[in-house]
Amino acid sequence: MTKGVLLPRTTPPFSPSTITHWRTTKPTVPFTHKRSIIATQPPLPCFLHDFSKVLSRTACSSSRRTNSNGLSYSSRVSLAKAVSINTNMSNYCTHSTDEIFSSKRRSRGPVMAAKKAAEGVTQEDSKYKHTVDLPKTTFGMRANSSQREPEIQKMWEENQVLKNIADGNTGGNFILHDGPPYANGDLHIGHALNKILKDIINRYKEARNNLTPLKLRAKANKFAKETVKSQMSSFKRYGVWADWNNPYLTLDPEYEAAQIEVFGQMALKGYIYRGRKPVHWSPSSQTALAEAELEYPEGHVSRSIYAIFKVVGAPVVSNDLLHEFPNLCIAIWTTTPWTIPANAAVAINPKLEYAVVGVESLDERASSSGENKKKKFGNILKDEKIPCLIVASELVSRLEAKWGVKLVVKRRLLGSELENYRYLHPVDNRECPVVVGGDYITTETGTGLVHTAPGHGQEDYVTGQKYGLPILSPVDDRGIFTEEAGQFSGLDVLGEGNTAVVKYLDENLSLILEESYEHKYPYDWRTKKPTIFRATEQWFASVEGFRDAAMGAIGHVKWVPAQGENRISAMTSNRSDWCISRQRTWGVPIPVFYHLQSREPLMNEETIDHIKSIIAQKGSDAWWYMTVEDLLPPKYCDRAAEYEKGTDTMDVWFDSGSSWAAVLTKRDCLSFPADLYLEGTDQHRGWFQSSLLTSIATTGKAPYSCKNQKESPAYGADVLRLWVSSVDYTGDVMIGSQILRQMSEIYRKLRGSLRYLLANLHDWKADYTVPYHELPRIDKHALCQLENVVKTIQGNYDNYQFFKIFQILQRFVIVDLSNFYFDVAKDRLYVGGSTSYTRRSCQTVLAAHLLSIVRVIAPILPHLAEDVWQNLPFQYTTEYGSVAKYVFEAKWPALNERWLNIPVEEIEFWGKILELRTEVNRVLEVARTGKLIGAGLDAKVYIYSSDASLASQLSELCEAKNDADTLHRLFITSQAEIIPSLEDEHFKDVPYSGECLIQGKTKVWIGVSRATGSKCERCWNYSEQVGSISDHPTLCGRCYSVIGVQMPPEVAAVS
Ligand SMILES: [Zn+2]
């Protein structure tokens, strides 16, 4: 935000239309520097314009010093200071952190007295020291989190707070079903973000009487179990509540059996099939991979080639092309030269225009050839008789430039005319067809003709199915060419195999150009090595079979943020069949037997049920150590010798995608579907999707009703948790030492506000509560604001908008309360009289704030909230009549509609008061700079407004019967007077003044002079009464009555 913009800080929302005008008293020169403030010390007539320049420059730069234009007025220095303060103030508005115009200056009396008393300083006014109600609390200013947080966690654990609260839960369950983290080592900040977000939700739902614990699950192996244990202890240190004694693990036999059941149900519904299809294959881990197991690192460079295949035959109907161009080739482009041996066709787009071009070699190319390592021209270009080529018309000029040749268009034709021409396979001289492909053939790259190897590409496979093309895949599990690849046999396709193919093509005059090509290429997410597309026999789930149902279910789920719905919709609608088999020995087996001779799979209801019951008892290891005879149901036992077990296991996404079945439907305390799944946005193609697909396929329902996204406590867990709450977890989040320092500072201020509340309630009992209708206006307004905040925060919890809660808390607790209500309240609390109405009504408001704030922050900052709760100076009794010993036993604060329902005019009026107060503070600050006053209590404020209604409302406050609403108390000055006119000579002598616009329209004049009368020894307010009370000559009337001495009637008459 712009520095130097002065906006009232206490009247949200900040209105950009707030313009403050100031002028000197003498002479009356209107000063209209927009968004700047000047209050000047008279007489400075000719100084104003220069000053405005200085001001604007200072306000726009970080400099706090005005080194202005040789002005020699003695008052210049003090004005510069005023500017400096203004700059501070604007920082304050934008950063909401500094304390400016702090109460330290204006309500110094009691505060200083308290401070001095604490320091044991003897002072003159010590006579009344014991009558001042100083704040008192056992709650530390410092969090000391490394010690205190574990203590609190221990207390929760020892007292089984979570269990007791959950047991006492009478409402329906809220189920946040936690996903399956991989056992991936020590925790990092992403884990913190993830788990803390979930914990915030659970704690909130618990406070709203809705808890079911968070679940943790892990991968099925020993390492996983150890990691789970270590992650668990770290999560506990973050203060994450969960059913840690009873986590679910995918390697539990119960879980595995449920997963087999899901698989079986899908198989029996016909959604599972076995097929030979190209899948993502990782040579480095020798298994098929799902899309979700791939990553696309930046900077992958492939060897791309332009190759040509000789046309040798034409469709029966037309043969004229070959007559006209007997030496004709088709040009293709590929980034995977190693797939050329598996080429089965070349595909064209029937709607594109193609051209037959003659190739004329250029000399320039020859000179640049060889120099460029990224580019290598083929031998064919050196040949005397370069054949004519077919390429897409649109690409002719681009290819000319790329190949360094001149291409002469000799004939144009439509793609559809090329179908069924035949060409010679460049490696093994098979005749292959030109086929019609789909819209995937474009003129963005390449030649417009696509090398088609159905064994190595998804689109190629689809096109191949249409034409009955062979699915060649002469590559083994390790990514090595098989014997089927002839001369390339034994070579690694991603290495020397690729090189050999390129070299072969060049030697046989089939290569035009080879060049490096940087693009996105899939890597194995575990090994970080490139994958290949390779046709193998795999098991698939036919997404086609239940895609419509899945799409329908997505629409009924609430997604946060809303874009999540688009993401998962797009992914589900485009999803090809899900390859669920993996060639691994860990995990849950695909429960299938193969006939030894026919290779026919055996899998039916009986076999699946039988295997399920074995795994439920013995775990999935049984599949490996038991014999086929034992694994087959009795009915098949005599034929056991004809079968063998399958060795494939299921995709881990099938494991995790079955968690709804294995956990939600199996555990007594849980139910299906879950209320919430919460993970990072990457899970739209991972867990969210796998869970959706398995659930839809078997139950027809989504497994969740609502879903979501996200992201070494050197600081306390609560600071980290505060950070988690502050980020918009739907996008990328930032963290660093600077950010944590800021969080720590905000935490400290929040703690300070809570400490203020605790300390001023040290003698509080619920019995002292002042009935609502008897409260002063300021208190009713404060309760209304509090209730609004609680209500808004509740709405944001319900919508998982934690960063908004963070913003509201920061603004309300740290800025608004501290700067107004808490500040003004000090007088009432410290010197208003221990049991007085003014103090008790204030404490009524403070108690309401403490009890509400501590409970609404508890889900985010459980340790801080509990620490406050353990230091509560009074007992809190729940609506059920039990004493809440822990903060979470206190539940969520019930909304008090009555507090909310104050008239709109009243809210508007307080808005004006707060704005006016800010303006008054500005003039006071200038008066302080000018050494007229020290503290605000040394001052008297004059207000004039031509707006009669505002003037009368303000006068009403001046005459308020209760001490709390009195205008000068709100300003924290000793006196305030509403004056009827500015014409009166008396007011023209007021030494400091200025004008401002309240709410952008109501003009108000503010004057400041020294307060009249003398300073009261006890409260430091000035009063004419001081000196008039014979036995307490240093006290004001208020203090005199407070200390319990009967006031003489004649004094009471003096106002
Ligand atoms: Zn007093």
Distance 1037 CA to ligand 1 centre (A): 7
Distance 868 CA to ligand 1 centre (A): 33
509, 283 Cβ separation under 8 angstroms: no
pLDDT at position 331: 92
Element (H, E) at 538: strand 532-541
Distance 945 CA to ligand 1 centre (A): 30
- Least confident interval from 415-419, 889-893, 985-989: 985-989
DSSP code per residue over 430-471:
-EEEEEE--TT--SSSS-SEEEE-TTS-HHHHHHHHHHT---
Distance 102 CA to ligand 1 centre (A): 21
Distance 834 CA to ligand 1 centre (A): 14
Pairing of strands 581-582, 677-678: unpaired
User: Predicted confidence band at 541 (pLDDT cuts at 50, 70, 90)?
Assistant: confident
Is residue 912 helix, strand or coil? Answer: helix
Separation in Å, CA 371 to CA 158, 367, 376, 421: 75, 8, 9, 38
Distance 1026 CA to ligand 1 centre (A): 8
pLDDT above 90: percentage of residues in the chain = 29
Distance 136 CA to ligand 1 centre (A): 22
743 vs 175: CA distance, rounded Å: 30
Distance 957 CA to ligand 1 centre (A): 20
Distance 967 CA to ligand 1 centre (A): 16
User: Predicted confidence band at 650 (pLDDT cuts at 50, 70, 90)?
Assistant: confident
Distance 611 CA to ligand 1 centre (A): 87
Q: What mean pLDDT comes out for the span 713-728?
A: 76
Element (H, E) at 564: helix 563-574
939 burial (CB, 10 Å; 0-12 / 13-18 / 19+) is buried
User: Predicted confidence band at 1039 (pLDDT cuts at 50, 70, 90)?
Assistant: very high
User: Predicted confidence band at 480 (pLDDT cuts at 50, 70, 90)?
Assistant: very high
Distance 505 CA to ligand 1 centre (A): 102
278 vs 288: CA distance, rounded Å: 10
Does the pTM surpass 0.95? The reply is no
999, 911 Cβ separation under 8 angstroms: yes
User: Predicted confidence band at 976 (pLDDT cuts at 50, 70, 90)?
Assistant: very high
Q: What mean pLDDT comes out for the span 1016-1031?
A: 91
Distance 827 CA to ligand 1 centre (A): 10
Distance 814 CA to ligand 1 centre (A): 29
201 vs 710: CA distance, rounded Å: 13
Q: What mean pLDDT comes out for the span 85-110?
A: 33
Residue 663 has pLDDT above 90, yes or no: no
User: Predicted confidence band at 30 (pLDDT cuts at 50, 70, 90)?
Assistant: very low
Q: What is the mean pLDDT of the chain?
A: 77
Distance 1022 CA to ligand 1 centre (A): 8
Residue 709 has pLDDT above 80, yes or no: no
Cα Rg of the chain, angstroms: 40
Output 123 or 176, whichever has higher pLDDT: 176
299 burial (CB, 10 Å; 0-12 / 13-18 / 19+) is exposed
Output 890 or 760, whichever has higher pLDDT: 760
Output 730 or 886, whichever has higher pLDDT: 886
- Least confident interval from 80-89, 318-327, 723-732: 80-89
pLDDT at position 671: 66
796 vs 799: CA distance, rounded Å: 5
Distance 120 CA to ligand 1 centre (A): 22
- Least confident interval from 99-113, 167-181, 679-693, 797-811: 99-113
pLDDT at position 230: 67
Distance 831 CA to ligand 1 centre (A): 8
Chain-centroid distance, C-alpha 683: 15
Residue 983 has pLDDT above 50, yes or no: yes
pLDDT at position 126: 56
Name the DSSP letter for residue 411: E
Residue 407 has pLDDT above 60, yes or no: yes
pLDDT at position 290: 78
Q: What mean pLDDT comes out for the span 88-95?
A: 26
- Least confident interval from 108-117, 253-262, 525-534, 822-831: 108-117
Residue 923 has pLDDT above 90, yes or no: yes
pLDDT at position 73: 24
Distance 764 CA to ligand 1 centre (A): 23
Kindly list the protein residues that place their beta carbon closer than 5 angstroms to ligand 1, a single-atom ion. Answer: 1016, 1018-1019, 1036, 1039
Distance 362 CA to ligand 1 centre (A): 102
Residue 918 has pLDDT above 50, yes or no: yes
Distance 1004 CA to ligand 1 centre (A): 30
Cβ burial 610-634 (10 Å sphere, 16+ → b, else e): bbbebbbeebbebbeeeebeebbee
Output 686 or 1047, whichever has higher pLDDT: 686
Q: What is the dihedral of CA 622, 624, 628, 631, to 10 degrees?
A: 20
Q: What is the dihedral of CA 191, 194, 197, 199, to 10 degrees?
A: -70
Write the pLDDT tens digit of every residue in 561-583. 777 787 888 878 777 778 888 87
Distance 1018 CA to ligand 1 centre (A): 5
Residue 758 has pLDDT above 80, yes or no: yes
Q: What mean pLDDT comes out for the span 941-961?
A: 91
Residue 746 has pLDDT above 50, yes or no: yes
Distance 560 CA to ligand 1 centre (A): 56
pLDDT at position 374: 74
Distance 60 CA to ligand 1 centre (A): 43
Residue 1041 has pLDDT above 60, yes or no: yes
Residue 1051 has pLDDT above 80, yes or no: no
User: Predicted confidence band at 423 (pLDDT cuts at 50, 70, 90)?
Assistant: very high
Distance 163 CA to ligand 1 centre (A): 53
pLDDT at position 891: 82
Place of tokens 């509201």: 808
- Least confident interval from 33-47, 200-214, 259-273: 33-47
pLDDT at position 207: 67
Distance 842 CA to ligand 1 centre (A): 18
Tell me which residue of 390, 392, 419, 398 sits closest to 310, measured CA to CA.
390
pLDDT at position 95: 27
Pairing of strands 405-414, 353-361: antiparallel
Is residue 778 helix, strand or coil? Answer: helix
Distance 1021 CA to ligand 1 centre (A): 6
Q: What mean pLDDT comes out for the span 152-179?
A: 73
Q: 638 is written with which tokens?
A: 């005599």
Q: What mean pLDDT comes out for the span 77-81?
A: 29
Distance 137 CA to ligand 1 centre (A): 25
Q: What mean pLDDT comes out for the span 511-540?
A: 89
Residue 466 has pLDDT above 70, yes or no: yes
Distance 943 CA to ligand 1 centre (A): 24
Close Cβ partners of 501 (under 8 Å, ≥ 6 residues apart): 337, 338, 340, 341, 427, 488
Cβ burial 877-895 (10 Å sphere, 16+ → b, else e): eeeeeeebbbbbbbbbbee
pLDDT at position 453: 93
Distance 133 CA to ligand 1 centre (A): 13
887 vs 156: CA distance, rounded Å: 10
pLDDT at position 538: 82
CB atoms within 10 A of CB 1030: 8
Distance 1039 CA to ligand 1 centre (A): 4
pLDDT at position 501: 93
pLDDT at position 320: 79
Distance 122 CA to ligand 1 centre (A): 19
687, 674 Cβ separation under 8 angstroms: no
214 phi and psi angles, rounded to 5 deg: -70, 150
Write the pLDDT tens digit of every residue in 345-382. 999 999 889 999 988 877 655 545 444 557 888 888 88
Distance 387 CA to ligand 1 centre (A): 108
User: Predicted confidence band at 668 (pLDDT cuts at 50, 70, 90)?
Assistant: low
Distance 951 CA to ligand 1 centre (A): 28
762 phi and psi angles, rounded to 5 deg: -60, -25
Residue 110 has pLDDT above 60, yes or no: no
Q: What mean pLDDT comes out for the span 439-465?
A: 88
pLDDT at position 704: 73
Write the pLDDT tens digit of every residue in 197-228. 777 777 777 666 543 333 332 333 455 566 56
Distance 913 CA to ligand 1 centre (A): 24
Distance 952 CA to ligand 1 centre (A): 27
Output 691 or 1012, whichever has higher pLDDT: 1012
Q: Bridge partners of 280?
A: 289, 533
pLDDT at position 179: 65
Tell me which residue of 229, 294, 180 sits closest to 588, measured CA to CA.
180
Residue 683 has pLDDT above 80, yes or no: no
Q: What mean pLDDT comes out for the span 646-671?
A: 75
| Pure H helices in 619-728 | 621-625, 628-631, 652-657, 659, 687-699, 717-726
Highest mean pLDDT among 688-697, 800-809, 936-945: 936-945
Distance 818 CA to ligand 1 centre (A): 23
Distance 1025 CA to ligand 1 centre (A): 9
Close Cβ partners of 171 (under 8 Å, ≥ 6 residues apart): 208, 209, 210
